Chains A and B, each alone.
Chain A
Amino acid sequence: MATYAIETRELRKRYRTRLGGFLRGQYKWVEALRGVSFHVDWGEIYGLLGPNGAGKTTIVKIIATLLEPDSGDAFVAGYSSVRDPGRVRQVIGVMLSVERGFFWKLTARENLKYFGMLYGLPSSKLGDKIEEVLELTGLKELGAEEKRFEDMSLGMKARLGLARALLKDPQVLLLDEPTLGLDPPSARHIRGLLRELANDGRAVLVTTHNMFEAEILCDRIGIISDGRIVAEGPPQELKRRVSDTVSITATLTGIVAEGLSAKVSGSGYKMLYRVEGERVRVRIQAKRGEEVEVLDLLTRLARDSGARILEVRVEEPTLEDVFIAITGGGRWE
């Protein structure tokens, strides 16, 4: 058995994106990955945590042999994704999207049967294997095995995606945002199942932009920002790096988030924000003892902009604060 279940070495990838134009197209190069190296041990759940566009999915696609890096390499169970993609495909189970990836008119069982045949599972074992993964993912309990994919809830679709990934009995699981948009019970079920699979000795690589999930699910986390892994380690260890800070979180309306962020940064504080419709959720990081100053600053900026503060709290550090401390904050989507 290879030393690491997954290992990436200095992965780099650039994309050319089309900006517009019909006959003479305008293009822009985007640096998706700028030298990403990390490894995942057997029996470990490793989380790639970062905002949308940070490069998480690109990494998963390279490891899954769906995309070739410009330079660097990824290894799964010792096999190179670039030079030996066929071997890599034999040992991985992949889940890329919760909402797509199945035949809409076919039932859960029919979909699994199709992919089982495609994976070359022997007919004598296919039926039993399908029953096993339906049971394991809770689809049977939900009575969803005879439901068409188009009639399934998001939670059922996610479970079906995981069921397919498990059909081959893979030693390495690559899961891109497996709980995105799921109801809490479904997300909890999937997290529990991933833990069981890791306890069995399988390696699990998950991407997420949900910090809470990364904290409770992953053994180790790689925080990725702008195509680089900027911090790595067990969640508790990462949080210790910011143990001397507190965070002031607030929800505001009637304010331009980018403007507020610039003013907070101008005052020497780091801020992370999310825009959710009319509301802007902010998280401002401060040294312990500076809470009152930050609250004053926030109140003043809100008043000057004619904004309303709907809620404000002082919180102990979380993984979000690790991200803020390392990247300087910014927008989180």
Chain B
Amino acid sequence: MGVAGIVKAELYLQISWLRSNRVLFALQLFWPYTAILVIYVMGSAYGSVENLASALGVEDPLLYIVAASAIMFAASGIIDQTASVALWHRWLGTLPYIYTSTPSFTRYLVVSGLTSSLFQSAFNFLALAPAAFIIGGLSSGLRLFLVFAVMIIGALPLIGLGITAAIASILAREEGNVLSFLNPLLVFLGGVFYPIEILPKILQEASTIIPVRYVVDAARLAAGFQTPTGQGILLILYSLALLIVLYNGLASLGVSRLERATRKRGLY
């Protein structure tokens, strides 16, 4: 089974699944609008949406919060997504057939995790685009696109952790992602819902190795009505590239052992 085969199969599965689950399909399109409602409720708590914008340090809180929610789901969620794909297959009983369809289960997890993550990101973008357009016209839509592009790159360093989570969950015979305890840490240190500057110095230092932080930085640049400087964007991309190598390099050391251990215990 080649990479193209996995991509095609996963896209086909996602589309067929959404077609068969129409209520979920509709709800997934609707969620950005509940986020907008939350902004107005929070804005009223601060006196006005403008006050909330000033507290968050952005000019467009609507776009920022909506994008930040998407970042939280997608950037840190890739770990959950990869693990949950594997666990979903185990729950359905399809896991052994997927395992025997490929020379490398890890390859399947990498490609299917990225494909489903990209699909979800594209879906979220489509759901958010009308809201962004209503709020700030075409420029908001373009900024949102930029946020999603960086978000996808921001998810790449975590794919190794996602695979580790998937195989470790299968190995431990748990019904949930055994590395899910990392998600709050990623969101907390990534500064998803507040400026990273309000954290103590040591946590700010720690956040430099959290990929989500750079995605949030990109989102803040876009939501701040600033024209992102080439230097700013490059710094974000370089940092993410470094983390992609670091995280996935570390994960690759353990994944093949984990996969072998899974075969020792057996796949169900």
Contacts of B104 on A, CB cut-off 8 Å? 86
Return the chain A residue nearest B91 by Cβ.
A100
Per a CB cutoff under 8 Å, which of B16, B93, B264, B266 touches A101? B93
Per a CB cutoff under 8 Å, which of A66, A106, A119 touches B99? A66
With contacts A66-B263, A105-B20, A164-B97 taken as known, whether A118 is within 8 angstroms of B92 at the C-beta atoms is no
Interface residues of B in 7-33 (CB under 8 A from A): 8-9, 12-13, 16-17, 20-21
Q: How far is the CA of A202 from the CA of B16 in the complex (A)?
A: 33
Give the Cβ gap from A50 to chain B, nearest Cβ, in Å. 19
Q: Is the CB of A120 within 8 A of B5?
A: yes
Binding site for B on A (CB under 8 A): 61, 64-68, 85-86, 89, 92, 94, 96-97, 99-106, 110, 113-115, 117-120, 148, 164
Q: How far is the CA of A100 from the CA of B12 in the complex (A)?
A: 20
With contacts A89-B103, A119-B1 taken as known, whether A66 is within 8 angstroms of B266 at the C-beta atoms is yes
Q: How far is the CA of A105 from the CA of B92 in the complex (A)?
A: 11
With contacts A100-B92, A117-B12 taken as known, whether A61 is within 8 angstroms of B100 at the C-beta atoms is no
Q: With a 10 A CB-CB cut-off, give which of A67, A100, A104 has the most chain B CB atoms.
A: A67
Interface of A is mostly: loop
Return the chain B residue nearest A174 by Cβ.
B100
Q: How far is the CA of A89 from the CA of B96 in the complex (A)?
A: 11
Interface of B is mostly: helix
Q: Is the CB of A104 within 8 A of B92?
A: yes
Interface residue count on the B side (C-beta < 8 Å): 30
Q: Which 5 A-B pairs have the closest CB atoms?
A: A100-B93, A86-B103, A117-B9, A105-B20, A67-B266
Q: Is the CB of A66 within 8 A of B100?
A: yes
Q: Is the CB of A101 within 8 A of B92?
A: yes
Apart from A64-B100, A100-B92, list 7 A-B contacts with CB within 8 A.
Answer: A68-B260, A68-B263, A102-B93, A106-B20, A117-B12, A120-B5, A164-B97
Contacts of A105 on B, CB cut-off 8 Å? 17, 20-21
Return the chain B residue nearest A92 by Cβ.
B100
Q: Is the CB of A96 within 8 A of B96?
A: yes
Contacts of B12 on A, CB cut-off 8 Å? 113-114, 117
Q: How far is the CA of A105 from the CA of B21 in the complex (A)?
A: 8
